[in-house]
Every structure is written in structure tokens, then in C-alpha cells.
Amino acid sequence: MPDLNKLKRFDNKRFKKKYPNLLQGKKIFMYFGNDLEKTRLIMKKTFILITTVLASVFIANKSFAQDDELVKVYRWYNPNDQNYVTVAEGEYQEGQMLNWNWKDKTSMFSAYRNPGADRVAVNSWYNPDTKDYASIAEDEYTDDAMIKMGYTNKHLQFYALTRRGPNTVSVYRWYVPKNHDWVTVSEDGDTDAYYKKGYRRKTFQYFGIARSSDTQIYNQL
């Protein structure tokens, strides 16, 4: 019986002599095949790393944009003219307000810098005859109506919410007949106290944000 191992070795030798290029090609294929596999793994890891970094940057930028979009709204009082003004943060420098004799800066609520769904623009108007500064939402009065009442110098202040949500606060406009002054007041349960001070014509305007930490909630409204 022939030795199968010898025959196998003999056949391998004959095959190598007869097809040397084919065997060389096989070695080359195996060599590059291993390199291709390594390259594929490296590219896969690189893709995962880049995706993770981009996701982190996107989340960070989104969070920053949400926080940056909120603006605080204050009320100032002028003892000389005995009237109030509503001012958004950054609308005027605090030093300017103090130089113009505005005092008693009071934080009322937060609003938005930019327009969006369920938001209304709030504009500042000035009446040179009564020296009254009024912050009026666009859906309260038309420009023509404000001009007929003697108001000019309209400029955008902020955007407020038009519907209630968690941690919102109702904002009202009161009229003080004695000084012909419109005053913006955030929700207060003690309405009688304002009547005793001579405030009249309590009118709902819009909703403000009670706490700046709830930005994400309001972006989803």
C-alpha cells in the first residue's frame, strides 16, 4: 500500500513547480487580506469615536443655546415721574438706568430672545406727553391704536409664552390713572393691595417663565 504522506508531499512539490505564480498570489492575497481587516477595524473605531465626539458637541451646544435664549425681565421705578418701566436684560445697561434716575430694580420673570411656537413679541412704547413706558404684546393693540393713544418709539423687547405650562407665571398690565402709567406686574394673589394703591384695569397679557432652570421644558411646548 503506498505511503499517502509521501504522495501528498510529492504532489505539493509538483504543484509548486507547476504553479509558482498561483501560490505567490495566494500569499499576497492573505497578506493584503490581513491588512484590509486591520484597516476596517481601525476605520470602525475611528467612526465610533468621531460620532461620539460630535454627539457630545451637539448636546453641549444645544444646552448652551437653550440657556442663552432666555432673558430676564425686570421692572424699574422712577421716583421723579412716579412711573414704572419694564426692561429686558441687556436692553439697557444698568449704569444707564441709574443715570436716568430709575431705581428699585425688581426681577419679575424670564422670557425668550427669539420667536418660536406659542410665543408672542412684546414691544416697548413711549408716550412723551405722559412720560409713560408701556410694554405691549403684539396681540393686545395694533400699531395704529398705540400711535393714536400718543405712543411712539416702538422697539422689540422679548418674546413671551401665549399658553400656560409648568412653572409659568401669568403677567398682567395694570393702569394707574393718577400718573397715566401702565405697569407690568407678574402674577400676585393679593389683587386687593393693588386696588388700594389706585391700580385699575387689570388685563392679562401673556405668560412668563418663573424659573430659568426650566428652559428645556418650554422649548418642548
The pLDDT tens digits of the residues spanning 154-211 come to 999 999 999 998 889 999 999 988 888 899 988 865 677 888 888 899 999 999 998 5
Residue finishing a domain among 17, 34, 66 = 66
* The three grid cell numbers given for residue 215, joined into one nine-digit string: 428652559
Q: What does the pLDDT read at residue 53?
A: 47
Give the whole-angstrom CA distance, residue 110 versus residue 67.
Answer: 11
Residue finishing a domain among 66, 81, 100 = 66
Is residue 214 over pLDDT 70?
A: no
Q: What does the pLDDT read at residue 65?
A: 37
- Please indicate, yes or no, whether residues 149 and 199 belong to a single structural domain of this protein: yes
Beta carbons of 165 and 209 less than 8 angstroms apart: no
- Please indicate, yes or no, whether residues 123 and 196 belong to a single structural domain of this protein: yes
- Please indicate, yes or no, whether residues 108 and 184 belong to a single structural domain of this protein: yes
- Please indicate, yes or no, whether residues 117 and 34 belong to a single structural domain of this protein: no
Q: What does the pLDDT read at residue 58?
A: 42
* The three grid cell numbers given for residue 196, joined into one nine-digit string: 388700594
- Please indicate, yes or no, whether residues 62 and 76 belong to a single structural domain of this protein: no
Give the whole-angstrom CA distance, residue 77 versus residue 102.
Answer: 5
Return the ∠ at Cα 55 (arms to 53 and 58), rounded to 5°: 110
- Please indicate, yes or no, whether residues 181 and 148 belong to a single structural domain of this protein: yes
Q: What does the pLDDT read at residue 157?
A: 95
Work out the average pLDDT over 20-42: 59
Q: What does the pLDDT read at residue 180?
A: 87
Q: Which residue intervals of the chain are DSSP H helices? A: 4-18, 20-69, 94-99, 143-148, 191-196, 215-219
Structurally, how many domains does the chain consist of? 2
Domain coverage including residue 135? 70-219
Closest residue by Cα to residue 130 from 145, 103, 150: 150
Beta carbons of 87 and 122 less than 8 angstroms apart: no
Residue finishing a domain among 41, 66, 91 = 66
What is the average pLDDT value for the chain, to the nearest integer?
A: 77
Work out the average pLDDT over 27-50: 62
- Please indicate, yes or no, whether residues 140 and 193 belong to a single structural domain of this protein: yes
The amino acid at 187? E
Instruction: Give, for 79, the enclosing helix (H) or strand (E).
Output: none
